[in-house]
Amino acid sequence: MRKLAVIELFSLKRVHSFRNIREEEVDFMVKKVFQSALSQSPVDLSKTFFSLTASIICRVALGQNFNESDFVIEQERIEELVNEALLALGSFTCSDLFPGGIGRFLDWLFGGHKKINKVFEELDAFYQHVIDDHLAGKTTVDSTADIVALLLDLMDKQEYKNYFKLNIDNIKGVLMDIFLAGVDTGAITMIWAMTELARNPRVMKKAQEEIRNTLGLKRDRITEEDIDKVDYLKLIIKETFRLHPALPFLLPRETMSHVKIQGYDIPPKTHIQLNVWTIGRDPDRWTDPEDFIPERFTNTCVDFRGQNFELLPFGSGRRVCPGMPMAVATVELALLNLLYFFDWRLPEGMISGEDIDMGEAGNLTIIKKLPLQLVPVQRH
């Protein structure tokens, strides 16, 4: 399944084919922010970014368009479902400590799996509805390219002998991974990036000056072709990944054999947790690790794609996140648009960026506890 995901679902060619979807949804987001700029009212950027990533993922993965078709779940419910599912996945159950019959009995007795079952039954019904629509020939403007259509085609043809035989449950499993990981993590990264920019006016000003001087002041639309023209934005995103990885712990690994690490004996089949949040703030690896300084990545080869172990927001090796190219493209394009078209100021009652609450919440993913509210100011 991983081979299928890397080669078929998230290859660079496939990610590029979704470019028009990302650009259209970012354009739609910019138009909504323009409305707030006209009235000088604060924008809930936390909600804005979740709506953006949910819209993109639903079009790319499900062939469902929030803005052009009757959607089976309200957009607000999408964010709620993702949060409920991640909280359920990250919560402790007795089965985690006592695998087997005893753990399952205790979970049944204390209702440990009740919340998990409830949210996943709703998600399962959602995925089944989307699959049924595809099988019935109900298409949307994007459905010929979406991931559900591709997987159903692979299941029907079964041309790839190196892959296991696909079935509907496998497709739902892929959709679960894409849906939960794709909607949440991208939005979280953008929220923290804009939060840090609001708290660091010097960085915000420098980024906007570079973007506007490079792209010109009379652009009506920013596209993905413009991303590689602005270097400082990429440094900002790297620094955001360092300070605020969406997943503070990577998905668990398991030791294949006995290993000794710094005098400790680690037996086979031990679950290993990698704390990338701590690695990103390690004073032995970073100068002034608690400060937001994108310039630290100038003239350095350190990147977030898994080759440098001091910066691992997407993991590394065979288990690196296959959706990384898609996530990065969305984050870069959205931030580029918001920094080009708008100046940003704090809402009434806040004097400086230090007044922004930096409290965190969550378990599997770590989000800003209080929504980020900023006032957009139309640049021209």
Could you read off the pLDDT tens digit of each residue along the chain, which spans 380 residues? 888 888 888 888 889 999 999 999 999 999 999 999 999 999 999 999 999 999 999 889 888 776 665 565 666 777 788 888 887 777 777 887 787 788 888 888 887 778 788 888 988 998 998 899 888 876 555 545 688 988 888 888 765 555 568 889 999 999 988 888 888 899 999 999 999 999 999 999 999 999 999 999 989 999 999 999 999 999 999 999 999 999 999 888 889 999 999 999 999 989 888 999 999 999 999 999 999 999 999 999 999 999 999 999 999 988 889 889 999 999 999 999 999 999 999 999 899 999 999 999 888 889 999 999 999 999 86
Q: Kindly tell me the sign of the dihedral angle through the C-alpha atoms of 49, 53, 56, 62.
A: negative
Closest CA to 333 of 9, 16, 79, 11: 16
Tokens describing residue 254: 């398991």
CB half-sphere exposure, 313, CA atoms < 13 A: 27
- Contact between residue 299 and residue 255 where contact means Cβ atoms under 8 Å apart: no
What DSSP string describes 301-346? Answer: ---SSSS-TT--TT--GGGS-TTHHHHHHHHHHHHHHHHHHEEEEP
Q: Which tokens hold the place of 302?
A: 């350190």
The answer to whether the predicted template modeling score (pTM) of the entire model surpasses 0.75 is: yes
According to DSSP, the β-strands at 271-272 and 264-266 are unpaired
Q: Work out whether the CA dihedral 183, 185, 368, 30 comes out positive or negative.
A: negative
Give the class (CATH, top level) of 2-246+278-378.
Answer: mainly alpha
3-state secondary structure of 368: strand
Residue 159 confidence (pLDDT)? 59
Map out the domains of the chain as residue ranges: 2-246+278-378
Question: CA nearest 335: which of 239, 218, 243, 249?
Answer: 239
Are 316 and 172 within 8 A, CB to CB?
no
- What is the per-residue pLDDT for 163? 56
Q: Is 321 annotated as a binding residue?
A: yes
Question: Locate tokens 């608690």: which residue?
Answer: 290
- pLDDT at position 198 is 97
What's the pLDDT at 114? 80
Task: For residue 58, count CB atoms less than 10 angstroms from its CB and return exposed for 0-12, middle for 13-18, buried for 19 or more.
Answer: buried
Measured CA to CA, the distance from residue 77 to residue 28 in angstroms comes to 20
Q: Which run of H or of E encompasses 163? A: none
